[in-house]
């Protein structure tokens, strides 16, 4: 009995001790809450607010690209990306149904499948217009965050694509003016700090900080939209009529270097840059074995032949040979030459493009008839060193500085490797590779009293 009584006493003591500790902890907690609410409430209110603060980046609107007369060639429109924050979705079924009613391409099944993925959040759709966003906000959908974005639009579609270029999914320029002038066009992001509730909704009038985004600058091109459309049409017809691999056309003002039109076929639509608009690329993409092959074909589709590709200019280069010879007094316009139809240079027989002899004719007539053999004789009079000096003076072998990424320099034989055959063939545009832009720029220099200009596509830059 004594042992039992002693045991009950021990239990009572332990229980009393536990109760005392319990009441002590409750007292401490009450005192702490009182301290927080009465003595120093601001400090802890601030801490709570900080925990609910959301730091948001405000994306700038990309600058427009205009033609020389102010017509819009590339513009950005404000859109929104829908981000689903799973933790804040109150009812998955209701949210899925609400979204499927507003967004035509979203199904309940798709939403649930994405919701069941092992992620805390996911982007449901990108580039949704404001009117649909407002409609979604009035629906039963919960747990959504609408991030402001922008979408690039090219009003004229498959027009001037090699000049204008296009942007990536994240609005970074990756071709043409869009790429070369990206830093001017993209703008500077802003910043916004707000307080949000447990459902990730912004608390009214809770904005703590706001740094406005600076939209991108506007680029005014030298391109004339009306002329460009005409050149596009003519170039496409030449591509079809001649069953050509590629056709390039450039219109340039020889007095100031402004490019008024620049077109090549086949080309692409910057609104859907990965989609082939010409059969030649469509077939290549269809046969592509893997992602690398497909990427290589698409990259080729985006290349601007006017500045990125080189070719042997052929007889158009005779203008350079003639100009150099006339400048050096190595030939005179009415000087008479004799053409037998061919000329022998070492082991190489060079014929006229017509394969017929012209007999006696003046240099003026040789230029009109594009007689190869006469130009070989003229090049020999110039000599390799002098001829090369003029070739370089006309801008060959160097970039023009046009505002297009990836400009090629062309290829000129080193002087040490320019023998009699190379000198002869260069006189009529072989054994040398140039870009179409180098070719038109050098001819423009002849029309501009020998002054070689830097060709340009940029007329003005307007600050936002």
User: CB-hemisphere CA count at 13 Å for 144?
Assistant: 26
101-115: buried (b, 16+ CB within 10 Å) or exposed (e) per residue?
ebbeebebeebeebb
Straight-line distance from the first to the last Cα atom of the chain, in angstroms, rounded to the nearest whole number: 97
Cis check: omega of the bond before 378, within 30 degrees of 0? no
According to DSSP, the residues that pair with 434 across neighbouring strands are 311
* Dist CA 282 CA 460 (whole Å): 37
Kindly tell me the burial class for residue 100, based on how many C-beta atoms sit within 10 Å of its own C-beta (0-12, 13-18, 19 or more).
Answer: middle
* SS3 assignment, position 60: coil
In terms of Cα–Cα distance, which of 368, 375, 369 is closest to 350?
A: 375
Question: Do the bridges between strand 458-462 and strand 218-221 make them parallel or antiparallel, or are there none, so unpaired?
Answer: antiparallel
Asked about 168 being catalytic, the answer comes back as no
Catalytic residue among 150, 315, 398, 416: 315
Longest Cα–Cα distance of the chain, Å, equals 148
DSSP type of residue 290? S
One-character DSSP codes across 390-439: HHHHTTTTS----SSTT----EE--GGG--HHHHHHHTTT-SEEB-HHHH
Instruction: Please identify every residue annotated as catalytic.
Output: 315
């Amino acid at each position: 009995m004594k042992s039992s009584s002693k045991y009950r006493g021990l239990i009572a003591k332990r229980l009393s001790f536990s109760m005392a500790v319990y009441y002590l902890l409750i007292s401490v907690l009450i005192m702490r809450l009182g301290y927080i609410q009465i003595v120093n409430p601001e400090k802890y209110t601030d801490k709570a607010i900080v925990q609910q603060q959301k730091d948001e980046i405000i994306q700038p609107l990309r600058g427009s690209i205009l033609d020389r007369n102010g017509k819009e060639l590339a513009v950005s429109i404000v859109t929104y990306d829908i981000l689903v924050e799973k933790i804040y979705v109150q009812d998955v079924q209701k949210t899925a149904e609400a979204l499927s009613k507003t967004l035509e391409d979203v199904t309940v099944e798709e939403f649930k499948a994405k919701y069941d993925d092992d992620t805390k959040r996911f982007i449901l759709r990108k580039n949704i217009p404001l009117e649909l966003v407002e409609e979604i906000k009035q629906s039963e959908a919960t747990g959504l965050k609408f991030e402001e974005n922008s979408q690039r639009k090219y009003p004229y579609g498959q027009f001037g694509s090699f000049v204008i270029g296009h942007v990536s999914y994240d609005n970074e320029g990756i071709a043409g003016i869009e790429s070369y002038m990206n830093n001017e066009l993209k703008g500077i992001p802003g910043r916004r700090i707000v307080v949000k509730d447990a459902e990730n909704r912004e608390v009214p009038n809770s904005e703590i900080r706001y740094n406005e985004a600076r939209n991108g600058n506007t680029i005014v091109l030298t391109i004339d939209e009306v002329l460009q459309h005409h050149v596009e049409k003519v170039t496409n017809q030449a591509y079809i009529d001649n069953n050509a691999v590629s056709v390039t056309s450039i219109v340039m003002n020889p007095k100031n270097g402004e490019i008024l039109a620049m077109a090549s076929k086949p080309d692409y639509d910057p609104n859907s840059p990965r989609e082939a608009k010409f059969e030649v690329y469509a077939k290549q993409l269809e046969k592509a074995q893997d992602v690398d092959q497909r990427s290589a074909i698409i990259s080729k589709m985006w290349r601007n032949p006017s500045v990125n590709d080189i070719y042997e200019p052929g007889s158009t280069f005779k203008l350079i040979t003639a100009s150099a010879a006339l400048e050096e007094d190595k030939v005179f316009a009415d000087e008479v030459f004799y053409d037998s139809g061919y000329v022998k240079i070492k082991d190489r027989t060079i014929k006229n493009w017509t394969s017929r002899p012209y007999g006696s004719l003046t240099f003026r007539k040789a230029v009109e008839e594009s007689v190869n053999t006469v130009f070989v004789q003229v090049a020999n009079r110039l000599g390799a060193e002098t001829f090369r000096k003029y070739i370089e003076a006309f801008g060959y072998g160097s970039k023009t500085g046009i505002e297009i990424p990836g400009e090629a320099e062309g290829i000129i034989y080193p002087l040490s490797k320019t023998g009699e055959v190379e000198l002869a063939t260069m006189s009529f545009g072989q054994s040398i590779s140039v870009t179409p832009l180098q070719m038109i720029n050098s001819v423009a220099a002849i029309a501009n009293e020998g002054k070689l200009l830097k060709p340009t596509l940029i007329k003005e830059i307007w600050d936002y």
